[in-house]
């Protein structure tokens, strides 16, 4: 059959909306790339003026994915202590008129096939209904988080006190045999009196208006949740969720070579512990020093991406510009770099993570358990020492250690910090112990399953093919009208 592209007709056009943050933008960029390269669709990825990940956007333009930036909106009426989630939700909501105009412009040049906001952008879904196109939600996290949102809304909207904001039960039982104590809930779910709690519940209520969800996961890593959500979709109580991941950026789409890769080339195979807390994770001054001590006492080689410590108790930093006086390495304990120079490397702020994880020398990953980093680690066959910091990371750490079996959780103090001796013990166990060997076998199995998911007949590839086929059919029908 002749494709739309080869016939000269404009290809059906999918518009994707990524809320600010690397963890949202990077997997959505990979989704857009695949829609264009493998599914005969055109795509525009919409971002916001505050999102500055130029390297990601440049790589998209080279892959024939269009990009568009919505201008900044006024947010100065928000409280000074507004949570990052509240800021994101308000920013997206106030940008709806500009997005409507953009969608109408794109629709005047090609048949619109679908609108796909990410999980913070469901306020835009009425635009899909307004324009007569499918509206799907992209979930850059996993099905467990989606199940948490669904269960939370059901708890609030059922019974005599329907619609009231109330605390979740402790523990909260989720599909996939996840029993979630309050300590492992994402911060925004812990206190029903906080403004952001109401925002998140409202966001979850809007999920019901979606035609479906595209989730950055694959069957073998969450089989229980896949089956549970398939059943509720068949019952008509929740939109269908399609596991279409893992979306892991190619190493060719990262920034250029780094000195840390040259250092890794000189290390023995399977000897290095990689330490990184993502693009926004920060430790306190005290915890940075304790991590240094733990790595030193572990006796193992390490590559540590060091960020400037937090001085206000927060573990989340979007990366504001800092002066030269904030050299991350200057915050390490006195003499640490000299004492560990023969077996360790500390690099400031950034490393090409996909290349590092896939390097033969890398054997373990001390990680914040952000879902992008988790999938990158699984795709490379590298087990994890789980050190969650914010958002849904504690939930991820619980699932990865107790359900999936690819992560080791060191014992933490009541405030979530980890003592140096626990850090050292966790590293040694993962590198030398029987539990570490079991985790390594399991993660290699999942590595192979992740590769199969996107093989020509893989489950994720077929799921996205099914959705893309529906979009193209809807675009043709819409055009005929």
Q: Which residues are catalytic?
A: 24, 118
* Alpha-carbon span 481 to 476, nearest angstrom: 9
With the C-alpha atoms ordered 82, 88, 90, 95, is the resulting torsion angle positive or negative? positive
What residues does 242 pair with on adjacent strands? 214
* Alpha-carbon span 394 to 154, nearest angstrom: 22
Q: Determine contact, residues 407/439, Cβ cutoff 8 Å.
A: yes
Q: Determine contact, residues 407/436, Cβ cutoff 8 Å.
A: no
H or E stretch at 102: helix 96-109
Q: Name, in order, each residue with C-beta under 8 angstroms of 57's C-beta and a sequence gap of 6 or more.
A: 29, 45, 47, 67
Helices 195-206 and 143-157, packing angle to 10 deg: 100
Q: Determine contact, residues 337/362, Cβ cutoff 8 Å.
A: no
Question: Helices marked H in 110-258 — which ranges?
Answer: 125-131, 143-157, 195-206, 223-234
On the 0-12 / 13-18 / 19+ scale of CB atoms within 10 A, 315 is buried
Burial profile 378-406: b = 16 or more Cβ within 10 angstroms, e = fewer: bbbbbbbbbbbbbbbbbbbbbbbbebbbb
Q: Is 148 helix (H, G, I), strand (E, B) or coil?
A: helix
* Alpha-carbon span 186 to 194, nearest angstrom: 13
Q: Rounding to the nearest 10 degrees, give the CA dihedral for residues 369, 44, 207, 463.
A: -70
What residues does 281 pair with on adjacent strands? 316
Q: Is 250 helix (H, G, I), strand (E, B) or coil?
A: coil
* Alpha-carbon span 81 to 86, nearest angstrom: 10
> Within a 10 A sphere around the Cβ of 160, how many other Cβ atoms?
5
| Residue whose structure tokens are 């399977």 | 270
Q: Determine contact, residues 56/27, Cβ cutoff 8 Å.
A: no
């Amino acid at each position: 059959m002749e494709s739309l592209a080869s016939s000269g007709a404009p290809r059906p056009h999918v518009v994707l909306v990524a809320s600010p943050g690397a963890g949202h933008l990077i997997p959505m960029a990979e989704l857009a790339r695949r829609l264009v390269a493998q599914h005969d669709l055109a795509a525009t990825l919409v971002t916001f003026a505050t999102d500055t990940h130029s390297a990601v956007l440049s790589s998209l333009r080279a892959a024939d994915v269009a990009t568009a930036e919505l201008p900044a909106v006024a947010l100065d009426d928000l409280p000074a202590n507004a949570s990052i989630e509240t800021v994101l939700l308000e920013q997206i909501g106030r940008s709806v008129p500009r997005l409507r105009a953009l969608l109408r412009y794109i629709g005047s040049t090609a048949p619109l096939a679908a609108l796909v906001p990410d999980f913070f952008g469901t306020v835009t879904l009425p635009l899909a209904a307004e324009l007569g196109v499918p509206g799907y939600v992209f979930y850059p996290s996993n099905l467990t988080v989606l199940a948490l949102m669904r269960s939370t809304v059901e708890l609030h909207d059922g019974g005599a006190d329907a619609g009231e904001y109330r605390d979740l039960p402790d523990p909260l039982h989720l599909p996939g045999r996840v029993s979630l104590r309050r300590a492992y809930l994402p911060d925004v779910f812990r206190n029903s009196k906080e403004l952001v709690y109401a925002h998140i519940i409202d966001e979850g209520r809007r999920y019901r208006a979606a035609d479906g969800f595209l989730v950055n996961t694959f069957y073998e890593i969450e089989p229980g949740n896949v089956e549970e959500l398939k059943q509720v979709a068949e019952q008509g109580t929740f939109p269908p969720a399609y596991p279409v991941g893992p979306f892991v950026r190619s190493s060719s789409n990262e920034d250029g070579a780094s000195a840390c890769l040259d250092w890794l080339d000189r290390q023995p195979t399977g000897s290095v512990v990689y330490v990184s807390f993502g693009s926004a994770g920060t430790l306190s001054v005290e915890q940075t020093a304790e991590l240094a001590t733990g790595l030193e006492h572990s006796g193992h080689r390490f590559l540590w991406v060091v960020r400037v410590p937090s001085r206000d108790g927060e573990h989340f930093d979007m990366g504001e510009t800092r002066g030269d006086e904030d050299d991350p390495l200057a915050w390490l304990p006195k003499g640490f770099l000299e004492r560990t120079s023969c077996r360790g490397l500390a690099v400031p702020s950034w490393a090409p993570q996909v290349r590092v994880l896939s390097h033969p020398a890398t054997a373990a990953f001390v990680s914040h358990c952000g879902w992008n980093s988790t999938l990158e680690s699984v795709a490379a066959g590298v087990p994890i020492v789980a050190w969650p910091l914010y958002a849904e990371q504690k939930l991820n750490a619980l699932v990865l250690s107790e359900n999936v079996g690819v992560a080791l959780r060191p014992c933490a103090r009541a405030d979530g910090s980890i003592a140096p001796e626990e850090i050292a013990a966790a590293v040694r166990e993962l590198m030398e112990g029987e539990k570490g060997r079991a985790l390594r076998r399991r993660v290699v199995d999942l590595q192979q399953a992740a590769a199969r998911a996107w093989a020509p007949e893989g489950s994720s590839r077929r799921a996205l093919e099914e959705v893309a086929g529906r979009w193209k059919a809807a675009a043709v029908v819409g055009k005929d009208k």
